[in-house]
Chain A
Amino acid sequence: MNAILLGILALPLLAALALWALPIALGDRLAALYGAVVSGLVLVGSVLLWQRTEGWFAYSGVQQRLGDSMRPLAAVTDGPWIPPLGVRFHIGVDSISVPLIVLTALLTFLCCIYSLKITPRIGRMRSLIALLLVIEAGVIGAFSAMDLVLFFVCFEIVLIPMWLIIDIWGDDHDRAGRKRAATTFVLMTVFGSALMLLGFLLVYRQAGTFDLVQLTNSPVLGGHGVPLAAALLIAVGLAVKVPLWPLHIWLPDAHAKAPTVGSVILAGVLLKLGTYGLIRILVPVLPDATVTIAPYLAGFSTVAIIAGSLACLGQTDVKRLIAYSSVGHMGFIGLGIASLSEAGMQGALFANIAHGIITGLLFFLAGAIKDRHDTSDLRTIGRALYARLPRIGALLTFACLASLGLPGLAGFWGEMLILLGAYNPADSLPRATYLVFMVIAGLGTVLTAAYFLRLIRNLCQGDPADNPASAFAVDLSRIELITWSPLVVLTVLLGVWPGLLLAQWGNL
């Protein structure tokens, strides 16, 4: 059991090193296949993990439930790592981390499959695949870390690979732009994580341990003073990653400049680290301080929803638009977490997964459109995609509808539960404020619909006469179909059967 977890942690790393060891010519040819095999194995392993986990081991957002909500972790490996610093190597999974791990494995796998046929213009596939595997390992590590410092380390592992991916394989039309985007991303995230580390150290000073299980069992109480400072630092550090308005500024550029697989991983997986951290660390470890800052967190999330949607309405670049839509959606997740209610929490967790799937699909589609037109600028691409690329257009419409939270598709349940959580938040929170937030967020869903419809209208629809089909624009290729169909299926499946995930988290 824990062998599986260790395996899916170690396998990608070792595989990446082995890949770099290969000679370049050979490596470039084999890379995608090799990556597909490895990440496929990881995916199998993560699914195996899923079967064995039951329940959510810790959620102390509601204090009185603390006692009976404790369930044992699965796949635990616990050993000393750096005794002088009190750092342990403690990993394990429960039902809130496993779905995210599976999502990570799935998206990486799909990216590798996608790279079998469709590769960035620069080539250098060997390094690209290897970096993807490293990122996968880091993210899985972060999702399974049960020690604050281990979490921090895994949180940092992904930075440099992602920076390289954006900087090397990014938009090959403006080199300066992609370098700036990459650097902004990595620097802001590093600063955030440094602040988060300070928060962890404050926690350590109070509690004397970095171990999440112990910290969850006996959280750091007290809503002001050092716990509050720690909570603030941790929240800000993670908010950079989420990203929460106004710390989102790195996101649009990073997503817009990154290569397709980079955007997919970035939006589908990396953003989840932030929200996962909030749920896994902030809420259980610093309950009282969290209650103190929750209203502000919720407020900023609500602003993020509105500001993100409005910004989307003003975008003229399809990748930027989708990136900004992530700002809005992550705002919803933040609101759900800040409601500190079970509905909100589960909504946030659900929305994490749903956003990963749907936005992954959206970025795949955006990448496909960009590859076909060699630009992602709506005005240059022209309109009437239905006429030129009917299948891709239809898929885009589907993805947009899913992303704007159409009931019956995956996007809905998360947002619904989050709004429900905001409707009756935890008793310790000001209800009236949250009602206001709920209403604003509800209007935000309308804005979301507005910008997605605008996208469909300006991109897919229009008069074919004045938007002639470009010569090389071939419709949905087989590899794209293979890559995207799992995402589509999952979107529908989770949409009609939310219990699939909700049952995992069950009654806390």
Chain B
Amino acid sequence: MIATVWRVAGVGFSLLLILIAGLLYGVAPEQTSFLNSSVGDLTIGFAVRTDDLTVLLLAVVGVVATCVQVYSLSYLHERAASYHALVTLFTAAMATVVVADSLFLLLIGWEVMGACSYLLISHYWERRDARSGAVKAFLMTRLGDVGFLFGIFVLGVGAGTFRISELDPAQISPGVLTAGTLLLLVGVVGKSAQVPLQTWLPDAMPGPSPVSALIHAATMVAAGVFLIARLYDVFSASATTMTVLAVIACVTMLFAALCAMAAVEVKRVLAWSTVSQLAIMFSALSLGTQEGRHAALFHLVTHAAFKGLLFLCAGVLLHQVGSAAFVVLRRYTRRGKLRKTLRVTFVTMTIGLAALAGVPGFAGFFSKDTVLEAAWEHAHKDGSAIGWVVLASVGLTAAFTAFYCARLWLWVFFRTPALAGAMGAFEQDDPMADLEDPDTSKLKEAPWLMLGPLVLLAVAAIGLGYVDGLHLNWVIALGSTVLVLFGVLPAYSLWSRGADPRPVVLEREFGMDRAYHGLFVVPVRWLSKLSVLGDRDVIGAYVRAVGRSGTLASQGFRLLQTGNVQTYLTGAVVGVVALAILAGVIAR
């Protein structure tokens, strides 16, 4: 009953968002503030605004949310009420972030999103990996949010206002500006899972796939991009911040792409690719030019479409097959079963992967090219080092992306002639290698309630490339195509030879997880033990000692009561002398 209510409410709300976006389209920008109260000379309150950015993001959120809500109707049946409620709450929070004009309102949406993501990741709370992944996600983002809060302080106090529309970089002293933006950047890095706070996103994958599609691909993780775009003139006014952003972005995109190349689970591959795609957006933003901003947003939109699509496809795999691990999928693929039965899924997923890889003609191709183009402009026109670095790393990332997309596509959907039906490269980590194949006859296509969103998003994953108007810089287009080929060919040759070399360093994802565990988790555990012991054995010991000494003294006085009057008298006389001496001493 309640579940139904929430289902309806969820779908309705996301549709409402689309409607609002439609209504607001083309309306002149305006802001209104409400519930203000002054603290000292600052004003704590809320404010909302509308402009193109708001409308764009609202539309994206609305569409993806609608797809996810509809998809979830048949994807997920247990605990549906809380699930849909939380997804709706999340959508509302994201909408808040998008429309916020007050930094505090933005922060509220920002952190409520985090909380929803935590609760949704731990939707299957009986699973250990879900629990730990959820906690990790929340804590890492929370860590970033502390920096974010401090950034708000610095900027707000520096500018004397917490209204985004009133933040004027000209009014703020450069030092404050840099400090504030850098602190905000910390929050962004945490939210968008950039290096060094990247490790939570892959571990967030135990959550339900639609959640991954909505939160960890399309919207929440992209909120960082949105924030920088929203405060673009503030950020771009500080060269230092932009440089840091560029470095982070370039490192992240390569790092994540490399990790994706070695991942052996579909959702994990997608998670890492999300990280690296976000990094591409950040790199575009870090150019500090309007082209860069435009490119980033463009990529954000297309990415929302095809990455959401991919996650939903992965969800279908999970839902129909029961796992998205390569090794399991291979068992079906061996008969070419997967491709034949899950036909729609196969087609849509192919489109998604093509878009992600940047195959010409798909949305990802165009958006990535705008990024490259912006970088190129920035690089050779104003000859900035950042431009060149971005250009190079995005290009390299494009190749890597193509590689892991092809790898995923081939290994999941196609039997390897070379292996003649053997498991091949995933034997060693196959828990049930000796078992015979699962009963593939039960395998069938997902219900249309799930396929509908896929198709819709697939269309978007192609079509969105053209909405921006077709202005191709042929050189760059050619270049990126060549890079894609460079990525695809090795993947194909490896696959056809049935080999899948995975360097251990990549499989361990550069060991950063372990390093963090050793650096932060373990010391905190020790410290907590220390503080508990300290309370019990140091401070508590003093208190107990006081009590015990009182008791002992009391016992001692009882022993002095011998009952012999002459002892009493002796004590008294001694007391007289002592008193005289004491008084004499003090009187000196």
Direct A–B touching, Cβ under 8 Å:
yes
A residues 291-346 near B (Cβ < 8 Å) are: 307, 310-315, 341-343, 346
Instruction: Return the contact of B150 from the options A311, A313, A442 (Cβ within 8 A).
Output: A442
Determine the distance from Cα of A2 to Cα of B263 in the docked complex, in whole angstroms: 73
A405 closest partner in B (C-beta): B111
Instruction: Return the contact of B45 from the options A460, A499, A506 (Cβ within 8 A).
Output: A499
Find out whether the CB atom of B108 lies under 8 angstroms from the CB atom of A498: no
Closest Cβ–Cβ distance, residue B211 to chain A (whole Å): 16
Closest Cβ–Cβ distance, residue A65 to chain B (whole Å): 10
Find out whether the CB atom of A249 lies under 8 angstroms from the CB atom of B150: no
Determine the distance from Cα of A408 to Cα of B90 in the docked complex, in whole angstroms: 13
Instruction: Return the contact of B126 from the options A401, A406, A438, A461 (Cβ within 8 A).
Output: A461
Q: Does B527 interact with chain A (Cβ within 8 Å)?
A: yes
A-B interface contact total, Cβ < 8 Å:
134
Do most interface residues of chain A lie in helix, strand or loop, or is the interface mixed?
helix
A445 closest partner in B (C-beta): B146
Do most interface residues of chain B lie in helix, strand or loop, or is the interface mixed?
helix
Segment touching A, from B31-39, B398-406, B418-426: B31-39
Determine the distance from Cα of A249 to Cα of B547 in the docked complex, in whole angstroms: 14
Closest Cβ–Cβ distance, residue A145 to chain B (whole Å): 27
Find out whether the CB atom of A463 lies under 8 angstroms from the CB atom of B126: yes
Q: Does B433 interact with chain A (Cβ within 8 Å)?
A: no
Q: List 28 A-B contacts (CB under 8 A).
A: A188-B543, A310-B527, A311-B528, A311-B531, A341-B40, A343-B40, A406-B111, A407-B107, A407-B111, A408-B112, A416-B104, A417-B44, A419-B150, A420-B157, A423-B154, A438-B150, A446-B142, A453-B118, A461-B126, A462-B126, A463-B126, A496-B108, A498-B37, A499-B44, A502-B37, A502-B44, A506-B38, A507-B39
Q: Does A46 interact with chain B (Cβ within 8 Å)?
A: no
Find out whether the CB atom of B111 lies under 8 angstroms from the CB atom of A310: no
Determine the distance from Cα of A343 to Cα of B42 in the docked complex, in whole angstroms: 9
Instruction: Return the contact of B543 from the options A184, A343, A346, A387 (Cβ within 8 A).
Output: A184
Q: Does B492 interact with chain A (Cβ within 8 Å)?
A: no
With A313-B528, A449-B142 already in contact, the answer to whether A249 and B45 are too (CB < 8 A) is no
B residues 535-549 near A (Cβ < 8 Å) are: 535, 539-540, 543, 547
Find out whether the CB atom of A417 lies under 8 angstroms from the CB atom of B525: no
Instruction: Return the contact of A406 from the options B37, B115, B146 (Cβ within 8 A).
Output: B115
Q: Does A81 interact with chain B (Cβ within 8 Å)?
A: no
B38 closest partner in A (C-beta): A507
Report B391-415 CB contacts with A as 1/0, cut-off 8 Å: 0000000000000000000000000
Instruction: Return the contact of A314 from the options B37, B118, B126, B529 (Cβ within 8 A).
Output: B529
With A342-B39, A407-B108 already in contact, the answer to whether A449 and B153 are too (CB < 8 A) is no
Q: Does A246 interact with chain B (Cβ within 8 Å)?
A: yes
Closest Cβ–Cβ distance, residue A311 to chain B (whole Å): 5
B residues 134-155 near A (Cβ < 8 Å) are: 134-135, 138-139, 142-143, 146, 149-150, 153-154
Residues from chain A with Cβ under 8 Å of B45 in the complex: 499
Could you list which residues of chain A lie within 8 angstroms of chain B, going by C-beta atoms? 184, 188, 246, 249-250, 252, 307, 310-315, 341-343, 346, 384, 386-387, 394, 397, 401, 406-408, 412-413, 416-417, 419-420, 423-424, 438-439, 442-443, 445-447, 449-450, 453-454, 457, 460-465, 496-499, 502-503, 506-508
> B interface, how many residues as a size bin?
35 or more
With A311-B528, A407-B112, A446-B143 already in contact, the answer to whether A453 and B138 are too (CB < 8 A) is yes
Determine the distance from Cα of A341 to Cα of B157 in the docked complex, in whole angstroms: 14
Determine the distance from Cα of A497 to Cα of B146 in the docked complex, in whole angstroms: 22
Q: Which of A188, A310, A507 has the most CB of B within 10 A?
A: A310
Residues from chain A with Cβ under 8 Å of B547 in the complex: 184
B106 closest partner in A (C-beta): A407
Closest Cβ–Cβ distance, residue B279 to chain A (whole Å): 24
With A249-B535, A462-B126, A499-B45 already in contact, the answer to whether A310 and B37 are too (CB < 8 A) is no
Q: Does B524 interact with chain A (Cβ within 8 Å)?
A: yes
Determine the distance from Cα of A305 to Cα of B527 in the docked complex, in whole angstroms: 14
Determine the distance from Cα of A386 to Cα of B82 in the docked complex, in whole angstroms: 12
Find out whether the CB atom of A346 lies under 8 angstroms from the CB atom of B39: yes
Residues from chain A with Cβ under 8 Å of B199 in the complex: none
Q: Which of A246, A443, A449 has the most CB of B within 10 A?
A: A449
